[in-house]
A = this chain, B = another copy of it.
Amino acid sequence: MRVRAHREAAGLSQEGLAREAGVHWTFVNQVERGLRNVSLHNLLKLAYGLGVDASTLVRRLKPPEG
């Protein structure tokens, strides 16, 4: 989802994005490390916090194998 790239482009720290998105900073950290299969609601919160449309975060992503 390239959350880190969008976050850095927005000049936000992980704590800053967490505050804007209304999630815990450890969640942001785990998402950026690909450790979370985020829910739609959290995807929308992250997009809101990054100031981008959610479609930007999932464009051209392929389904997981299996």
A interface list, Cβ under 8 A from B = 1, 22, 37-41, 43-45, 47-48, 53-56, 58-64
Contact = CB atoms under 8 A, between A and B. Distances in A.
Copies in the complex: 2
A47 B59 CA distance: 11
A22 B61 CA distance: 17
A61 B40 CA distance: 10
B41 A39 contact: no
A53 B44 contact: no
A60 B39 CA distance: 16
Given A55-B58, A58-B55, A63 B45 contact: yes
B37 A38 contact: no
